[in-house]
Structure 1
Amino acid sequence: MIRLTRRGTVLKGTAASSLLLLAVCVTNAQTANKGLTFDAASIKPAAMPAPGKAVMAAPSGGPDTRDPSRIHYPFITLKALLLNAYDVKPYQIQGPPWLDTERFDVNATMPPETTKEQFRAMLQNLLAERFKLTIHRETKQLPVYLLVVGKNGPNMRESNPASPAGDEANPASPASFAAPKIGPDGFPALPSPAAGRPGLFLMMMPGRARLVGQQQTMLDLANRLTGLLSQPVTDETGLAAKYDFTLTFSPDGMSAPMGAPSGPVGMMVPATPPAPSGAAGGAVSGSPLEGDSFPDVFRAVKEQLGLALEAKKGPVELIVLDHIEKTPADN
């Protein structure tokens, strides 16, 4: 007879055996993942753009894409690599500030049948090998936000039925260091095939930012706001449709995560840091044409999308970096 106790409950016979078998299976899977490595991997410091230039970069490849046997992550931060390795949000990573500034070009190959769980284990092992990464986990009570519908209802256009999706998984072209075309409103024009393509496209310029959503759910929006605010944002809107929207706001004090998300995403990374705020409350100088100041993201979400961000507190699991090197070991 097998007897397992937990919190005063006695499990006997088949129930105890099943629980023991499950624990053994989980332990065996975790042990197996510890030894997983890429077939080949290269991590090199990324070349920085010349002053006044911007860089366009898009991650590609990996499990569940059309190129499952390789990844190409150009101009990516260590923070973004950690997010992918541990499947967490930016606010869950506790580490040095340079995680957001040091950029690398990462290329790796793997068996085409690699699962997402195996891929994350490979990436964790690669970071431990090249950057001498060690971590521990802990839980804290932190501020969180609920994304809800505003008093007057949503102010977004429901998307038309999706057209055939572009191949977001095809190998991306090398990062371009040519200055993108700037529209009359001071924002870069979305490059083809981004225009009209499902996805979230974030453009961050000195003193202003724009998030363009095409065929996006409210969960997609909440996840992107999570990255920008570096705090959890949970979708509580109850809206099930997909929407097209444009959100223009001041990016002062925000993160600009450059990860390798599962869906198509585009991003403009400014070559120079945003200009200092010239007014209280985070407002900055206005657009070149209208001279209006840009609202912070909370006001922009309310006025432009008809939604609201409500502040709460809740338990959040954190990944605390005990040690990480700034420069990777030789490839």
Structure 2
Amino acid sequence: MLLKTLAPATVAMALLCSATAQAQQSMPPDAKPRFEVVTVKSAPPDETRQGFDLQGRHIKLMRESVLNIIIFAYSIHPKQVVDAPDWVSTAFFDVDGVPDVEGEPNLVQYQHLLQNLLEERFGLHMHKAKRDLPDYALRIVPGGIKFSKTTWTKDNLPHQGGHPGADGQTMTFTNSTMSDFLLLGIQHFADRPVVDETGLTGRYDFTLHWLPDQIKAPEGDAAPGLFTAMREQLGLELKATRGPVDVFVVDTVQKPGAD
């Protein structure tokens, strides 16, 4: 099932659309898989498909940059990756592999696989630091949130989906935490990192409909902008601030040799 066919800036938009597909047996939740077999090749210049693909245990990345893989693997904003060479965002690769554990990986396991891939095949080594950067604080507005705790059971995986339309962008979150909301939602539509200051620790169901800045508003009724939509529909706000932000400093990274 194709997980992403969108532009690199929206890498996490539809990342786990297949996570709720229960036809596939899931990996044991405590498993920490590595790739049993994996190939990494430079993407052909004429390749038109791009994205993350997950079909059971079979994992494919098509025309993805190292920067995009880092962003997803570590749940961070592009501006939190610093001191990386230019090619990490301009060179594109195809990845095809199978984990060493039976079953379909969940979100954390998928990220763990890609972290290992970055280290073993791209020689990526990073260290955490703090940098003074502009960011957004995600906060609850006066009056409280306007969505409810999930109706799904604890055995259901989170589900995030979305689609663009003539009147704006719609995203639906089910059984999702605020971390899920940041990773698969606003983090990749915001122009700076977003820090969760809501204090919400549960899982929730909600829908957000807004008009991204880059979409020209149609005549007649149109969705509000992201900031307004979050306040009106969710009871949340993005407050522009500046302060110490966690960043990942790239120490070493290299292009992989041919398989």
TM-score range for the pair, normalised by the shorter chain length? 0.5 to 0.7
Q: What does 1:122-161 align with in structure 2 at a 5 Å threshold?
A: 122-128=117-123, 138-161=129-152
- Partner Cα separation in structure 2 for residue 91 and residue 229 of structure 1: 11
CA-based RMSD of the aligned residues comes to 3.9
Contact 1:85/1:124, CA 8 A, preserved across alignment: no
The answer to whether structure 1 residue 81 and structure 2 residue 76 are counterparts is no
**Structure 1 residues 118 and 154: alpha-carbon distance in aligned structure 2, compared to 1, 3 A threshold:** closer
Contact 1:57/1:75, CA 8 A, preserved across alignment: no
Alignment-derived partner of residue 220 in structure 2: 291
Alignment-derived partner of residue 112 in structure 1: 101
Contact 2:149/2:202, CA 8 A, preserved across alignment: yes
- Cα deviation 1:248-281 (Å, max 9, x = unaligned): 22333xxxxxxxxxxxxxxxxxxxxxxx55xxxx
Alignment-derived partner of residue 303 in structure 1: 232
Residue 243 of structure 1, aligned match among 204, 208, 213: 204
TM-score computed with the length of structure 2 as normaliser = 0.62
2:258 is matched by which residue type in structure 1? D
User: Displacement, 1:42?
Assistant: 1.6
Q: For structure 1, which runs of at least 5 residues remain unmatched after alignment?
A: 1-36, 50-54, 62-66, 167-197, 253-275, 278-283
Alignment-derived partner of residue 64 in structure 1: none
**Structure 1 residues 149 and 202: alpha-carbon distance in aligned structure 2, compared to 1, 3 A threshold:** same
Aligned with 2:134: secondary structure?
Answer: strand
**Structure 1 residues 79 and 118: alpha-carbon distance in aligned structure 2, compared to 1, 3 A threshold:** closer
Q: For structure 2, which runs of at least 5 residues remain unmatched after alignment?
A: 1-33, 103-108
**Structure 1 residues 329 and 305: alpha-carbon distance in aligned structure 2, compared to 1, 3 A threshold:** same
Contact 1:147/1:222, CA 8 A, preserved across alignment: no
**Structure 1 residues 307 and 101: alpha-carbon distance in aligned structure 2, compared to 1, 3 A threshold:** farther
Length, aligned pairs only: 214
User: Displacement, 1:162?
Assistant: 2.8
- Partner Cα separation in structure 1 for residue 116 and residue 66 of structure 2: 16
- Partner Cα separation in structure 2 for residue 99 and residue 233 of structure 1: 23
Contact 1:143/1:314, CA 8 A, preserved across alignment: yes
Aligned with 2:198: secondary structure?
Answer: coil
Alignment-derived partner of residue 170 in structure 2: 210
The answer to whether structure 1 residue 234 and structure 2 residue 195 are counterparts is yes
**Structure 1 residues 58 and 228: alpha-carbon distance in aligned structure 2, compared to 1, 3 A threshold:** farther
